[in-house]
Each structure stands twice: as C-alpha cells, then as structure tokens.
Amino acid sequence: MTEDTLSAWRRAQAVCFSFDNTVTENDTLDLLAQHLGLGPEAAQVAEQAANGQLSTQDSLQRRLQLLNCSPQDILGFLDQHPPATRLAPGVEDLVAALQARGIVVYLASASSWELTAPIAQALNIPYAHVFADGMAWQETEAADGPRLVGFTRHEAASYASPQAEAVGKLRDMFPYQTLAFVGSGTTDLEAAQLAHGADIFIAYAGVVQHEAVVQGSDWSVRDFHEMARMLKKHKVACIGSGAWACAAVRIVAYNTLHNDPRDEFAKEVTMWVHEEEVNGRKLSEIINETHENVKYLPGVKLGDNVVATPDLLEAVSGADIIMVCVPHQFVHGICKQLQGHVSQDAIAVSLTKGMRVRPEGPQLISEMVRNYLRIDCSVLMGANIAQDIASEQLSEATIGYTILANAEVLKRVFETHYFYVTMVPDVAAAEMCGTLKNIVALSAGFVDGLAYGPNTKAAIMREGLQEMRQFCKALYPTVRDETFFESCGVADLIATCYGGRNRKVAEAYVKALMTDHPKTFDELEAELLHGQKLQGVLTSNEVQEVLRKRGWQDDYPLFTTTNRIVNGRLPPHAITAYRDCGIDGFDYPERADNPTSSQDGARADPLAVAAREREAQSK
C-alpha cells in the first residue's frame, strides 16, 4: 500500500462494501443452495463461471433456476442462518469505526434484498444505503404457491452489476471527494474501475482470493481489523495552559489513554504553553517533568501523556483536533501565526469566552478561527469552574456545532464519568452565552461586595440572562431559545455568578472601596488571579462599544450600568438601580461630601461615605 492510498483511506468520506465473500463469509446464494440440499449443483455452476464458461449474469440466472424455492424456504434459511453466523470476522468493528468518524457506509449486493437486509440491520447500515434487487415470485402449476424466478429491478438498470450500479449512483448523487470500494471479486474490481468509479479499491482476501483482483487493487487485506487500525487516529493539541485549559486537557489526556474503546485517538496530547519562569525554571519544563502546571492549576496531575511545548507550531504539528483555550484578546494573533500550518483535515473547538470587536461589528472567536484557519470550529461552553472539574466534581458542558459528525468526535474526546456533554446546533448562542455571562458575574460580584441578599442577586442574574438572550438574538437572529437552558446558558451563568473569577474580583473591588483603600481592576487581577486574566471588564467594554455604536444602550440597562461602574462613572451600589442608571444620559446624583481618595484627584466612590455613615449610626 502506498502513502497516497493510505491517505485516501484515511480521508474517505464514504465506503461501499461488496456483500458476498466480503461482508459475509460466503456466497449467500450458494449458502441458500446448501440449505436446500442443492450444494453440489450450485458449486458446479460456480466452477463454470470461474472457468469462464458462464458470464456473471448467466451464472446468476442458472443458480436462480436451480433454487426454485418458495418464500417459506427463504424464511427458513434466515432462521437457520442469522447474521451473526454469516458476517466476516471484524466487519462489525470496522463499520462501527467508520461510522464513528462520520464516514458513510454502503452495501452493494448481487444477492437479493431479502437476504441482504438482515446483514445491513446487524451492521447498523440504513436500508437506504443498500443497493440490492428484490426477489421476483411467480405462481406455477407445477408447484404449490409462488416460486423464485429472478430479481425485480427497483430502478432501470444502467450497469452490468449491482456493484457498478452502486458506485455510479453514489457518484451521481453525492459530491464525495473520496469514495472507497471494498470487495473480493472481479465485478467489484470492475465497478471500482469505471470512468467515474471509486478513488481507491481495496481487495478483501479474507474469504476468497482472486489473484487478478489482488493485482488490480490499491490495497489488499485479509483482516478487517487491519483496515480499522489504519484509519487515522485523531491527535489532540491544546493552545493554552491556563487553569481551564489544564482542566480540559486533563480530561482529554485521560480519555485518549484509558477511555478510547474505538481506539480512535492518539495517546499523546500536546499543549502550547506561553513560556514563563516559575521559581527560576521554565514552566514548560516543569510541566513535562512533574506533569503538573504548578502556577495555574497546582496540585493536579495532568497526565503522563501530556507534552508541553512553548513552540506554537510544534504544538499543532500533526494535530487534527485543536482546542483553543486562551484569553480572547490573544486569539487573533495566534490565528495569524497558525495560518498555513494547520491541516485542512483538522477540526477546532474553542473553549475561549469572549469576542473580538471590529469597526464592522463583533466577531465570535469560532468565526475568527474558521476564517483564518479554514477549518470547522465548534465551541465547548458551560458551567466550568476549573478547580471543581480538576477535582472530578460532577460538571457539564455544551458543544455548539455546525457539523454534527465533528461534534460527535468532540463529545467522545471530552465526555467522562464526571463531565457530561450535550450538543446543540447553535454555535452563536452557545459561544455568546460564554462571553456575556462574565459581565453579569461582575454585577453579581458588586451585589456580594455590598452584602445584599439572595433576592437582589437573583434579580440581577435574571435580568442578566434576559439581556444575554436579547443581545444574542439581536446579533444572531437564528439562535435558539432552548440553548439558553443548556449548561452553556443558565448553568454557566449560575456557576460564574457564585464561583467565578469575575465575581470574586468585582466583590473585592467593592470591599476595597468600603475600606477607603480603593484598588483598580488591574491591581486586583494581579493580586487575586495569579497570572490568570480577568475577562469580564474587557468584555464589558467591548459589548458596550457595540451597544454605543448601534444606539442600544438604553435597551440593555444592566449591561450599561455595570460598564459605568467598571469605568468609575457610577458607584457600585448603583447596580440595584440599573433600571434608571442604565438609561443613556442619566446623571447619578453626586454627594457634597464625596472625598477624593487618589493622588490624581479622582473622586472616591460614594459607597465609602455611605459605609462610614452606617458605621456611625450603628454606634
């Protein structure tokens, strides 16, 4: 087998199997003849065909005349020869492996539909993917009841054999770029060699071997398991090494090593690390030596099969599943570096929560990846607090997809006994939820810092979810309402508003103001997140820019109020008055006793004054 043949096999979009002596361990009509006690006579006809004394069509007609069976005979044959006794070894596993990769499987049978359908059902091949003719019956005076007299063509015959007809129709009906045909006989080889035949012909010699067929094939095999082993194994690479990236890589590394029943994934998982020094050593070297990211996810073993590298192109070399999990402001530059260095057979999945704001409008991270790398990009979003997932607490996520087959592969990459994954055909809503919930988390953090109770927080979260949905629909009218009830929607919002980094920093921001020692969000990010990035403030500014340019500020009072608080235009306790404070042009009343608390003369938040007043009243 040449490299070109192997490459064609691995990128095949459809595989058509011949039936007799390929999918089955025998010629079905010969087996039926044996069942009827006509084995020697059928063997003689077969020998004449093999010697060239009879054509394939004449041989088939002779055997049908010889059989002369009734419908009851066929039912009796199927009872005594169920599919499990007729299948060639390994064909079930091969078909399952092909279908698992989204490769469409077909059957082309010279035996009848009635004898082929049970095998197709056993292999989970839809009846619509079976090319076979039905049995034709005729009443005769010499027999009780109808007798088999031939086959009934479902459609006008334009080819000399069902195999050739199958290949021709597949070429006419579907734009498969790579079609593989697997068979054992001369008619199979001829079908593959049509003017518009199969791209590769694989001779299966596990039941019978015809030298001319083997010589004319692109690849000859005696074991279907060999064909399954030669299917491309998906190699996974992760761009990013923060806490969430490491938690996700840990799941993937475990699944590729221990939870891969189809043997479809390469064991090694590469991870691109933005190189930095930790205690005088390179972070990538520490990860490869200890299998732990001691800075961003300390105390958690990622897996011995995770290989860290500071070289971006090395990380994605040979990978056909690329995880993107870096702060969203860095994705554009990374995509530009990767252009021309990613396999066009690869698929991507974004775990990044954010969006890019451009003069012509916002751009989703998945759109950016798709446009720059020219590959399909799904998203994985949900209630994903990294430390909880790393400690194997029950968690879940949603894959938003465009191509179902790719989503199914990603689901097998990520899902495990503590990490549930659902799929929705709604990339935009899933991704926008993951982006916008960080703004609401800031609002929730302000509420926590003010020490307000669950009623207030619930009201803020409800309004936040409503504005998330409204904003998504305004930008992407096709988003589905049900997506907001998935993990990527309401579940992620709840988790982030109670346990996320944006909530944590926003709470600290308020408390710092209350102690008369205000700190900026940048200062708090450095102090509390240990190198991780705070996405909510940047996202709030980006979304507000979209609202401003489109004149939508008044339509999103919570988003607008939160952004004004973030930028010092409003005090944090204005969050509870978002219905008024979010109106464009609203002038929050200033207090005469507002002190200044910074060297540049910026006025302190009135919250500090209110806190002192409450303290004085309590005394």
Compare 368 and 2 and report the one with higher pLDDT. Answer: 368
Compare 112 and 151 and report the one with higher pLDDT. Answer: 112
Same domain, 199 and 246: no
Percent of the chain at pLDDT above 70?
91
What's the pTM? 0.68
Same domain, 463 and 579: yes
Same domain, 184 and 162: yes
Which pLDDT score is estimated for 380? Answer: 98
Same domain, 151 and 238: no
Amino acid 538 reads L
- Residue 399, C-beta contacts closer than 8 angstroms, at least 6 positions apart: 349, 378, 379, 380, 407, 410, 411, 414, 421, 422, 423, 424, 430
Task: Indicate the range of 27-36, 431-440, 591-600 predicted with least confidence.
Answer: 591-600
pLDDT tens for each residue of 564-609: 999 999 999 999 999 988 777 665 554 333 332 333 333 344 444 4
Q: Is 295 a catalytic residue?
A: no
What is the band of 218 on the pLDDT scale with cuts at 50, 70, 90?
A: very high
Which pLDDT score is estimated for 160? Answer: 57
Which residue carries 């595989």 as its tokens? 15
Average pLDDT score over residue span 248-276: 93
Instruction: Kindly name the residue from 353, 411, 437, 519 that is annotated as catalytic.
Output: 437
Question: How far apart (Å, rounded) are the C-alpha atoms in residues 425 and 149?
Answer: 50
- φ, ψ at 548 (rounded to 5°): -65, -45
* pLDDT of residue 78 exceeding 90: yes
Positive or negative, the CA dihedral 120, 125, 126, 128 is negative
| Distance from the Cα of residue 41 to its chain's centroid | 54
Same domain, 210 and 131: yes
Same domain, 307 and 205: no
What is the band of 51 on the pLDDT scale with cuts at 50, 70, 90?
A: low
Domains in the chain, number: 3
Which pLDDT score is estimated for 606? Answer: 42
Compare 77 and 592 and report the one with higher pLDDT. Answer: 77
Question: How far apart (Å, rounded) are the C-alpha atoms in residues 261 and 316?
Answer: 25
**Nearest in space to 70 (alpha carbons), one of 141, 132, 149, 153:** 149
Task: Indicate the range of 155-164, 235-244, 533-542, 597-606 predicted with least confidence.
Answer: 597-606
Residue that is last in its domain, among 200, 229, 258 = 229
Which pLDDT score is estimated for 85? Answer: 93
pLDDT tens for each residue of 450-507: 999 999 999 999 999 999 999 999 999 999 999 999 999 999 999 999 988 899 999 9
DSSP reduced 3-state for 388? helix
Provide the token pair at 1: 């087998």
Average pLDDT score over residue span 112-122: 93
Whether 422 and 401 have beta carbons less than 8 Å apart is answered as no
CATH number at residue 10: 3.40.50.1000
Compare 205 and 195 and report the one with higher pLDDT. Answer: 205
Which pLDDT score is estimated for 197? Answer: 86
Average pLDDT score over residue span 12-33: 92
Residue that is last in its domain, among 401, 425, 449 = 425
Average pLDDT score over residue span 23-46: 89
CATH number at residue 341: 3.40.50.720
- Determine the straight-line distance between the first and last CA of the chain, rounded to whole angstroms: 89
608: domain range? 434-618
Write the DSSP assignment of 524-557 as a string of letters.
Answer: HHHHHSTT---HHHHHHHHHHHHHHHHT-GGG-H
Provide the token pair at 388: 């909880």
Same domain, 601 and 522: yes
CA atoms within 13 A on the CB side of 26: 16
Same domain, 406 and 505: no
Which pLDDT score is estimated for 586? Answer: 65
Which pLDDT score is estimated for 356? Answer: 83
What is the band of 159 on the pLDDT scale with cuts at 50, 70, 90?
A: very low
Which pLDDT score is estimated for 587? Answer: 57
Amino acid 454 reads P
Same domain, 324 and 211: no
Same domain, 398 and 488: no
Same domain, 48 and 174: yes
Write the DSSP assignment of 413-461 as a string of letters.
Answer: HH-BTTEEEEEES-HHHHHHHHHHHHHHHHHHHHHHHTT--HHHHHHHH
Which pLDDT score is estimated for 530? Answer: 73
Choose the most confident range, by mean pLDDT, from 301-305, 514-518, 612-616. 301-305
Residue that is last in its domain, among 181, 203, 229 = 229
Which pLDDT score is estimated for 157? Answer: 39
* pLDDT of residue 409 exceeding 50: yes
Per the prediction, the chain carries an average pLDDT of 88
Same domain, 201 and 247: no
CATH number at residue 536: 1.10.1040.10
Whether 318 and 235 have beta carbons less than 8 Å apart is answered as yes
Question: How far apart (Å, rounded) are the C-alpha atoms in residues 495 and 390?
Answer: 15
